[in-house]
Amino acid sequence: MENKGNVLMHKYEIGRLLGQGTFAKVHHARDLKTGMSVAIKMIDKEKVFKVGMMDQIKREISVMRLIRHPNVVELYEVMATKTKIYFVMEYVKGGELFNKVAKGKLKEHVARKYFQQLISAVDYCHSRGVSHRDLKPENLLLDENENLKVSDFGLSALSESKRQDGLLHTTCGTPAYVAPEVINRKGYDGAKADIWSCGVILYVLLAGYLPFRDPNLMEMYRKIAKGEFKCPNWFAPEVRKLLSKILDPNPNTRISIAKIMENSWVRKDLQSRPCVLAAEVKEPAPLDSEAVFGINEISCAAVEPKQEVAKPCNLNAFDIISFSAGFDLSGLFEEKEQKKEVRFTSNKPASTIISKLEDIAKRLRLKIKKKDGGFLKIEGSKEGRKGVMGIDAEIFEITPFFHLVEMKKSSGDTVEYQKVVKQDIRPALKDIVWSWQGEQQREQLQLQEQEQQELQPSHASTTQVVSTQNSA
């Protein structure tokens, strides 16, 4: 039995509920052997399998077992039964840092202490190849001694998650704290994106409100893209200077964590303590995260068929905004250039879309180089003007029965790529395409132009027609 009375696995006495989410509950518990308080996160296996979150849970286990730092919530052990997965974690009873900030700005020396601890923890995570990707006050806990603990590694990424370009491509995080390069969807360095989030957190601790805020989401993204923020008058000059270096919209010139740790304002009041990186780190016992999901696989067969096609990515708020033609964010980040991607929607299952793309690639004598979930990498079989043409195709789930597909050139000549897409790929996809992005807008513009020409006298100037279209 999973629970006999209020005792779990004959090891932990289960106490009060601390928090609850869609797939998990967190309870306070007591180790029967040592009497130590712990927090136990109870995850519903069936729900996790149904929504395709197995990889995310496995990643969270792998990441949390890599990190042993005084300012990171520790994972003690992972247990599993037929129906549940249990994370036994360090109990941090001081609550979220967010609750402190919600009452107003913090004193400078208090904010500096939390920032020092945050930077120390993030630096250690990066040294272990881990990017958190969702740093915000809600994910920073405080213990009984008012020390900060980084939690919630559900969106974190390991260095092996990077694609061939050496960058991460999953758009995730919390909008107000996310770096501009993440919104841009062109790939980003997870460590540099974490540094930006640390800068937003520092600003919030000292100001009591966000640096980039606007009731209009697109206007907020514009401010983030340009690094447009103002410091209140109580910010010290050295803080303003530090924030301008952290909240630099260009990740290539953004200050590094090493430089932040050398900053005179950051080092002020820094209590001498042994360097965590140099300290002996107790390695956890090895754990096969696959085994956590493999317990009694027969009981999970109904929710995880062995032959099921890997699930495509779900669209989040960032994706929906950036995929929408009316919300094209690219102009905020770069000069307009020849489009290298095309998108279409389909009411066919992901497996049908993948099969169709594979058939087209085979007919055009293109090679499928990589197939991972809803992501396909297609390459030409011969050298073109600018090397071998490469096409990345990614499928995003809007609903289980409606998908958005993005195809973009990853290498080779743009003209050659556009010719193949227009003359070969697009016609071959017609039986699975619901609509191509931008097609409706083009049809509307053509209709408006036609109506305008019928209404205007024959001597109407081209300028007038264009002007009327734009105003429409």
Distances (CA, A) of 45 to 81, 296, 444: 9, 12, 48
The whole-angstrom separation of Cα 214 and Cα 136 is: 18
Contact by Cβ (8 Å): 230, 209: no
The whole-angstrom separation of Cα 125 and Cα 140 is: 14
Return the residue matching tokens 């779990």: 8
Of residues 123, 134, 189, 248, which has the active-site annotation?
Answer: 134
Contact by Cβ (8 Å): 57, 43: yes
The whole-angstrom separation of Cα 310 and Cα 395 is: 11
The whole-angstrom separation of Cα 247 and Cα 180 is: 10
Which residues are 341's β-sheet partners?
Answer: 408
Please provide the DSSP assignment of 120-176 as one string: HHHHHHHHTTEE----SGGGEEE-TTS-EEE---TT-EEGGG--TTS-B----S-GG
Alpha helix stretches (DSSP H) within 208-250: 217-226, 237-246
Angle at the Cα of 289 from the Cα atoms of 54 and 299, rounded to 5 degrees: 60
**Of 377, 381, 117, the residue nearest 260 (C-alpha):** 117
The whole-angstrom separation of Cα 191 and Cα 176 is: 18
Q: Which amino acid is at 79?
A: M
Q: Is 134 a catalytic residue?
A: yes
> CB-based burial of residue 35 (10 Å sphere; 0-12 exposed, 13-18 middle, 19+ buried)?
exposed
**Of 400, 449, 390, the residue nearest 421 (C-alpha):** 390
Q: Which regions of 274-386 does DSSP assign to beta strands (E)?
A: 313-314, 341-346, 367-372, 375-384
Which residues are annotated as part of the binding site for ATP? 41
| Number of neighbours of residue 77 by Cβ within 10 angstroms | 15
The whole-angstrom separation of Cα 287 and Cα 78 is: 8
**Of 221, 224, 229, 230, the residue nearest 249 (C-alpha):** 224
The whole-angstrom separation of Cα 327 and Cα 218 is: 8
Q: Which residues are catalytic?
A: 134
